[in-house]
Structure 1
Amino acid sequence: MYSARYSMTNIRQTQVELKRNLDEQLELLSRLADAYDTGNTLMAKPMATCIRILVHDTLKSHSLLSQLGLKSGKFLSTAVPKEDKPNMVRVGSYSALLAIASGSKSGYTPYLDDLPFGQTRMLNFDDYWHEEIFTDANSNSFTRKDIVLYVANQDGGAHVDPELEKKYIELTRQNSLGWKVSNDGRNWTDLTGAELASIRQIGHELLWTLIPSYPTKKITNQSGLMIGAAGIFLEQAKKPTGSDIIEVGRNKPCPCGSGKKYKRCHGKAH
């Protein structure tokens, strides 16, 4: 009776091989982004896996950029700054990377290079990866890292978990951002897919950062009015008294200044 012993010897990849892997991942990310822009928004799920491969490090695994020594540079952030102030109160939720398209193809759409204020920042990777990009109506916060890893590790990118964290369920299944759209002013529909649109924008930021000749990209969903989803601020007293508190009835004008009744504007999210 014969037995055989097999030994596994790992051979480190050369820098040339790693660079080839980088080129392949960037090409894959770019092709998935193009497919998303044609309307196939589910391409954001494999995009999340590409992004994880490129940038996410753990104690047991090393990102492709780390292996190539490319994480020490600056990364493009297109996030609309949150800029909370002590004398301001946010009405509704905060979304840093998204617009809302109304019309026949209403929904969340990534800004790409059509930024509402035309401002971008170059950040160290840790600041970029941990920058807040969502705050929902339940005061839950999400960073780029949160969204990418939820989708890649748990929600269909590279794996599907039997259970998902409550705040992610609220964001993706229960409209915790609170935005609704209507084509007739009577029938309102919850917006979904914020996590997918944000991954598309994160992919755009990384492609712009890592490919010097990456072309300018414009918002593809131009079906109607583009509304920034960053949120609305109202000024309030730093120490409000009873007389400072204003109750807004559902049939009263919305305090955001839109001219609509509260129940037809921000009251729809509550």
Structure 2
Amino acid sequence: MKPDRVKVGLRLKVLKDTLGISLAEFAERIESTKGTFNSYLRGVALPPETIVDKIAIVTNATKEWIYFGTAKEYMEGYLENLNTYEEFKIAHPDKLDEIVREFEDSLGTLKITHGINELSNLKELSQFYSEAANEIFISNYNIIFSEYVERLVVEYIKELEKYPIYNKLWTSNGRGYLSVLHERLSRIFPKPRYGEDETILKIAEEQYELLINKILLMYKDDADIERGNLKTKSTLEYLIRKFSTYEGIENLLKDISVRNNLIFNPNAKENEELIEFLMTTLPKLKQIKNNK
């Protein structure tokens, strides 16, 4: 975030008033003209670094404060400009106050880790402040976002946990539904934001279907699912189950499309005809099974 020239002008006015000198005298001390310095005060122009360096010497203010104000003021301005996070900001105003305090408290440590000092130029200062603010905001935001996603998909999680094999093969090795879902959300551009329920639920449903299909493939029949018995199911048996209904074939095609980064529109005429054709193969699939 670049310095706000209007806010810089207000801070320069504070410095001038604190010294108790006229506009003309202040301009003379920093080797500028009255008109030019007045343009800085009114926020018409941003003073160049050479002028800010002279102002810092005359007033004992830091270059950082002149350009960005206090840590609190900077972080508040940063948060105001986060237009893509409006839903989050509205839902968690207390969290925003906490983020401002955290930035204020940790600014000194962040300067050391980033190698920043008062002699740094404006480009370095701007980059540092922006990266430091972003680092603190995102670390706080990610925690809230994770909790928000978990609340949205709680019903999917409950359904998956009905299958003993899910806990045995997925959750126990750190590849549970939520973990995989967050990984997928992080790869999407633009990344879904807090409050975008519809977008997140659509992706969550696709991920649920992928996982539930893998689970069902491991069970021989519904009785085995109730007992929680893991058995080997053949591809033929799996296809018979899927091809028994229009929805089953549609979900299978969705699964294939997602796995291979393909576009699948179930309402497209060609896909409707494809599903209807595949349904006609069900008798043949059953015949193959009976001939085994």
- Structure 1-normalised TM-score? 0.22
Larger radius of gyration: 2
Q: Per chain length, whose mean CA-contact separation is higher, i.e. which structure has more relative contact order (CA < 8 Å, sep 6+)?
A: 1
Using the size of structure 2 for normalisation, the TM-score is: 0.20
- Structure 1 or 2: more strand by fraction: 1
